């Protein structure tokens, strides 16, 4: 049985059960996966993850993740950077907006950070609509931020402050 972290609108965020993250990777279409790079890099410390589920059926729809980013030397200069990945069969059902809203509420309710952010490819219009629908504001474009398909891709940055949500 999964431990539910947040739910609303028929969708929920839950701690992943054993093997669910691997299953999501195997069933993903990889549409926005970055190119592999053999050079060593430091992975985000304390990457957290929850699965997105249909509360009524328990169907696994995707996952959300978040990690700490820093804009200065103190905790007050930190933010959560979050991401979402939905299985192709889960797209277009409102699960993305619902999951992102739930994650924003969960992170503001359970942590002391005042900023959440996310980015997506400039061509990923459904993700941009989902981020805006979850209350994040478009803040700008990071040029050439990701390498995908051998090509440098621009990313659109979105953010929300605790004061934006009341």
For the chain (166 residues), the mean pLDDT of every run of 10, in chain order, is 90 93 92 83 75 95 95 91 96 95 97 97 96 98 95 98 92
Dist. CA 59–CA 61, nearest whole Å: 6
Ramachandran area for residue 7 (φ above 0: left; ψ -120 to 50: alpha; else beta) = beta
Which stretches of 4-150 are assigned E, i.e. beta strand? Answer: 4-8, 11-14, 48-54, 60-70, 78-86, 115-121, 137-148
Give the per-residue pLDDT at 43. Answer: 62
Give the per-residue pLDDT at 47. Answer: 78
Give the per-residue pLDDT at 86. Answer: 96
Give the per-residue pLDDT at 46. Answer: 72
Give the per-residue pLDDT at 48. Answer: 93
Give the per-residue pLDDT at 98. Answer: 97
Dist. CA 113–CA 111, nearest whole Å: 6
Residue holding tokens 């589920």?
A: 53
């Amino acid at each position: 049985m999964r431990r539910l972290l947040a739910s609303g609108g028929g969708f929920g965020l839950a701690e992943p059960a054993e093997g669910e993250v691997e299953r999501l990777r195997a069933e993903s279409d990889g549409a926005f996966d970055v190119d592999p790079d053999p050079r060593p890099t430091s992975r985000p410390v304390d990457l957290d993850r929850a699965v997105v589920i249909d509360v009524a059926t328990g169907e696994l729809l995707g996952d959300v993740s978040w990690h700490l980013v820093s804009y200065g030397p103190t905790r007050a200069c930190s933010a959560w950077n979050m991401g979402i990945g939905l299985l192709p069969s889960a797209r277009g059902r409102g699960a993305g907006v619902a999951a992102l809203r739930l994650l924003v509420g969960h992170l503001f309710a359970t942590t002391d950070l005042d900023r959440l952010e996310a980015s997506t490819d400039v061509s990923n219009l459904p993700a941009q609509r989902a981020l805006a629908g979850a209350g994040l504001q478009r803040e700008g474009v990071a040029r050439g931020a990701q390498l995908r398909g051998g090509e440098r891709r621009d990313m659109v940055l979105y953010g929300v402050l605790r004061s934006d949500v009341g």
